Amino acid sequence: MGVYNISLSKGENFDLTATLQNSTGGIMNLSGYSVRGYVRYGYGSSGILIDLAPSVLDSPSGVVAINLSPAQTAALPVTVALYDVERYTSGNFIVNKILNGSFTINPEATY
């Protein structure tokens, strides 16, 4: 699992492309998996601040992307939250957290 802390400002684009590694430092093959990820105030929080809607760009190379529009980030509250991204198989037979960290949303001065 990788840790990556995200910081963005309300009203801006956010684009992240990550190449994931397994525990031995090799490429994490995502073939046969889907990915999902959410931002919450805390891990015990029931409400979702935003669905990150991550996508797999290259399964064998372990490349995933998260893309948020200015409208999506403008709707977020100013806060420090948490996020994680999981890989999973159909039916949730295998679920692994592959990326997580803090998710800081800063105010914007120009809008």
Q: Per residue of the chain (111 residues), what is the pLDDT tens digit?
A: 789 999 999 999 999 999 999 888 899 999 999 999 999 998 888 899 999 999 999 999 999 999 999 999 999 999 999 999 999 998 888 999 999 999 999 998 776
Rounded CA separation 67/52 (Å): 8
**Six token digits for residue 54:** 């991550």
Contacts of residue 101, Cβ cutoff 8 Å, sequence gap at least 6? 3, 4, 5, 6, 82, 83
- Which one, of 95, 94, 96, 67, lies nearest residue 1 by Cα? 96
Q: Are 73 and 8 in contact (CB under 8 A)?
A: yes
Neighbours of 59 (CB within 10 A): 14
Q: What global pTM score does this model have?
A: 0.89
CATH homologous superfamily for the domain 2-106: Immunoglobulins (2.60.40.10)
